[in-house]
Amino acid sequence: MRSKPFSVLVVASLFVALTLAAAGCGRSGGLGDLPAATKPNAAQGAGGSSVSDEQGDVPELRLISPAPDLGRDLTIETNTAKVLVPRWVVGYPQSIEWVGGTVRFPELIALDVAPDYKALSWTRGATSEAPDAQDPGLLPYQDLTYVRLREMASSRLEFFWRCRGDIPMDGVDVGYGAVLGQALTTGQDYAVVVAPAAAVPLAPADAGWVWGVAALSEAGFPWDTASYEDILSASVSQSGDGKLTFEMATAQDIPAVPAEGDGTPMFAWILDQDGEGTVGAQFDLAVMVRWNVDSGQWEGVVMTWDGHDYLYLDIAVAFTRLGATLSATVDVADLGWEGTLYWGAMTGIQVGPDEEQFLGLADQAPDSGWVEEILAPPGPWPIYLPAISSNVAM
């Protein structure tokens, strides 16, 4: 049994972790997390649009989220929540101390710590669990009565929270978390955070419950953001022959080969047809230039998200990487769109194996809202949107 100050310390750590998740921790999140239902706030019009972005606003990577599905491996059922976290995401621990808790949104007020006044110890091969006393001053879904941590198959950790009452699927104002550390009284290393998408400003409104892992204190991830992921400006321009060119300027030359600690960098222009997001999808289309680890070279792709998988589209992308400038060109006819499109630029880091991809967002422009581009009238070319593959790696 530990003293009261330990409980206060853990509540403060959990508060910080959930604050990071709610604020986006440098706007971290999944592909397509540009805010919806906001009006364009940058230069716009037929034939070209652009936006500038502050230099030096790329933070250290402190939060990663599962991609493409921000709710992957997360289950909310009756009065329980559980999530499966790859052990490599939290530094391959052999043993840790940990504690669970709840925080109320939007005030970000720490509500409950489970168990009270002490840390739990977990060792590989064992199950770490404890009951927690009921608190009648809390709502049933805010009040934890039991927490558990155990290792599952494929070296994944299962974090489990049980509440006094059922967890609402909609309109809920609470998040669940677990703080981990080699010794919690001296420092916290990571936090696993589960929250409703409505409480996370940069999460798609239709994403339901989402989760992520935050690095706390002196802990960090083995990858980090880089200056060449700092967007200075981005633009879209059209040519008279039906070409649409996306351009991005960054604060540092984009390397021919990213450093090992850079993860898998990606540069993307997220496209939306109405500027309000699309129900059932995280984004309509993404024109992307990314580093391909397998081929050892940069590649251009167009992707969409169908609610379950990323889909590669059979659309050619011609791209140029010159110093700190990157451009990608596609045929408007291949996109299959007419009239107006809304877009935003983003840079990010993809990490993890194909089946356990995570994404950390480095920068985006604009920081909120979309940029409007009015497409030129279509030519005599056919309009189509061919999808050729699904369930692919990012």
Q: pLDDT value at position 257?
A: 96
pLDDT at 30 over 50: no
User: What number is the average pLDDT over the span 327-331?
Assistant: 96
pLDDT at 28 over 80: no
pTM here?
0.79
Q: pLDDT value at position 63?
A: 87
Tens-place pLDDT, residues 45-54:
456 899 999 9
Q: pLDDT value at position 282?
A: 61
Angle at 162 between CA 33 and CA 169, to 5 degrees: 40
Q: 315 and 243 in contact (C-beta within 8 Å)?
A: no
How far is C-alpha 153 from the chain's CA centre? 25
Q: pLDDT value at position 52?
A: 94
Of these ranges, 4-8, 148-152, 273-277, the one predicted with the greatest mean pLDDT is 148-152
Whole-number average pLDDT of the chain: 82
Domain boundaries, the chain: 4-21+63-215, 31-58+225-390
Q: Greater confidence, 7 or 255?
A: 255
13/258 Cα distance (integer angstroms): 33
Q: 312 and 389 in contact (C-beta within 8 Å)?
A: yes
pLDDT at 329 over 60: yes
- pLDDT above 70 covers a percentage of the chain that reads 79
